[in-house]
Amino acid sequence: MTPLAGYLLLSAFLFAIGLAGALTRRNAIIVLIGIELMLNAANLNFIAFWRYGPNPEELTGIMFVIFSIAVAAAEAAVGLALIIAIYRHYKTTNMDEINSLKG
């Protein structure tokens, strides 16, 4: 197995475990953590492809990850603010109980 394949498999596993958390857990915060893990898996792919790509001096992979980290930070802030707002309204963060759009 080449090093690149190792990184890609690690990234695929990270994506899968994040997806599993997002799909199977009840708590909204854990769902958000799962989404963060999936974003990180994509970042790992970018860096691995940049390092083992044909022209790493182009820096495209690094730039993608820098922007992706900034977007993920914004996403985490807004997502957690939403969870806190929902908790204030429903007094729960259980995804199974938050199932109506009407307040």
For the CB of residue 46, give the shortest distance to other proteins in the complex, in Å: 9
**DSSP helix/strand/coil, 92:** coil
Nearer to other proteins by Cβ, of 99 and 102: the residue is: 99
Judged by CB, which is closer to other proteins: 64, or 102? 64
Helix residue spans in 56-103 (DSSP H): 60-90
Sign (positive or negative) of CA dihedral 74, 75, 78, 80: negative
Measured from the CB atom, the residue of 50 and 101 that comes closer to other proteins is: 50
CB of 101 to other proteins, least distance (A): 16
**Least Cβ distance, residue 100 to other proteins (angstroms):** 16
Based on CB atoms, which residue is closest to other proteins, 81 or 102?
Answer: 81
Q: How far is the CB of 41 from other proteins (least distance, A)?
A: 9
C-alpha 17/C-alpha 19 separation (Å) is 5
Contacts (Cβ under 8 Å, ≥6 apart) of 32: 76, 79, 80, 83
